[in-house]
């Protein structure tokens, strides 16, 4: 399996522009997580989905952030309008969530490094 | 909600020495404790995990211990090598039910192994 695939790997944009980050989870996984990583705040969970349904978006910082999962193999995280303080590395992770705890392991993508100028 | 504290924030050791990273958690319902290693420019990768029905788990040079009563768990790396240099994160989760495996991460430890 190719693992969790994120695109783009790097994104540089100007303040006020719309940014869309993409994620393809591991085939067969039913949970997907979006994280943001900064030096100041570490790894923060933004939102997560189970069976394409958003379960908890309490980590989304502002209404400028939105996430969708239209099907089991694709998710997007959108920032509109972007601001310099949104600069961070954004990770997507997926897992096979079931009653068997042994399978509840999260696998991370390589991340998207976002720079908002 | 769950809160995970991790110490130290940085750790520097000589090659061949042991390294220990400690974490505490707040929610007694947490029952799954993974450790992730993050190398530069990459996403975190699971290196070992432990569940609340086990007190210790070992995989070659790495081991994890769990004290449910005190709500803390630790990562032990023996015979460290330069390639062990990375950022290490502990995490806690309430596995199963409606949590869907949501992880709460510690702040991370930057481990540097000097040749």
Chain centroid to CA A111: 8
* CA angle (A108, B1, B35) in 5-degree steps: 35
DSSP character for A54? E
Taking the C-alpha atoms of residue B81 and residue A97, their distance in angstroms, rounded to an integer, is: 34
B33: exposed, middle or buried (Cβ count in 10 Å: 0-12, 13-18, 19+):
buried
**Mutate which of B7, B38, B100, B109 to test chain A, going by most A C-beta atoms within 10 A?**
B100
Residue B83's pLDDT is 96
Least Cα separation, residue B63 to chain A (angstroms): 18
Mean pLDDT by 10 residues, chain B (115 residues): 93 97 94 94 94 89 95 97 97 74 91 96
* Chain A residues within 8 Å of chain B (Cβ atoms): 4, 31, 33, 42-43, 45, 48, 50, 55-56, 91, 93, 95, 97, 99, 101, 104-111
Beta-carbon count within 10 A of B47 CB:
18
- State the pLDDT confidence band at A100, using cuts at 50, 70 and 90: low
Q: Is A58 exposed, middle or buried (0-12, 13-18, 19+ CB in 10 A)?
A: exposed
**pLDDT of the residue at A6:** 98
pLDDT-derived band of residue A104, with 50, 70 and 90 as boundaries?
A: confident
What's the pLDDT at B99? Answer: 65
pLDDT of residue B56: 93
A25 DSSP 8-state letter: P
**Which of B41, B98, B101 is nearest residue A95 as measured by Cβ atoms?**
B101
């Amino acid at each position: 399996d190719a693992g969790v695939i994120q695109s783009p790997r790097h994104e540089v944009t100007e303040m006020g522009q719309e940014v869309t980050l993409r994620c393809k989870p591991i085939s067969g996984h039913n949970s997907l997580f979006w994280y943001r990583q900064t030096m100041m705040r570490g790894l923060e969970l933004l939102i997560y989905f189970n069976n394409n349904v958003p379960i908890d978006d309490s980590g989304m910082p502002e209404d400028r952030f939105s996430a969708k999962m239209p099907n089991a193999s694709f998710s997007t995280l959108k920032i509109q309008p972007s601001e310099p303080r949104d600069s961070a590395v954004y990770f997507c992770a997926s897992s096979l969530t079931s009653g068997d705890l042994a399978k509840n392991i999260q696998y991370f993508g390589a991340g998207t490094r976002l720079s908002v100028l | 909600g769950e809160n995970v504290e991790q110490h130290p924030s940085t750790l520097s050791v000589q090659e061949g020495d042991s390294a220990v990273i400690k974490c505490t958690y707040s929610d007694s319902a947490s029952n799954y404790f993974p450790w992730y290693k993050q190398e530069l420019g990459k996403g975190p990768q699971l290196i070992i995990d432990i569940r609340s029905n086990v007190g210790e788990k070992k995989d070659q040079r790495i081991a994890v211990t769990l004290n449910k009563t005190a709500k803390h768990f630790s990562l032990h790396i023996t015979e460290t090598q330069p390639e062990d240099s990375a950022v290490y994160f502990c995490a806690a989760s309430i596995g199963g039910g409606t949590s869907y495996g949501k992880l709460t991460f510690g702040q991370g430890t930057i481990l540097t192994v000097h040749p």
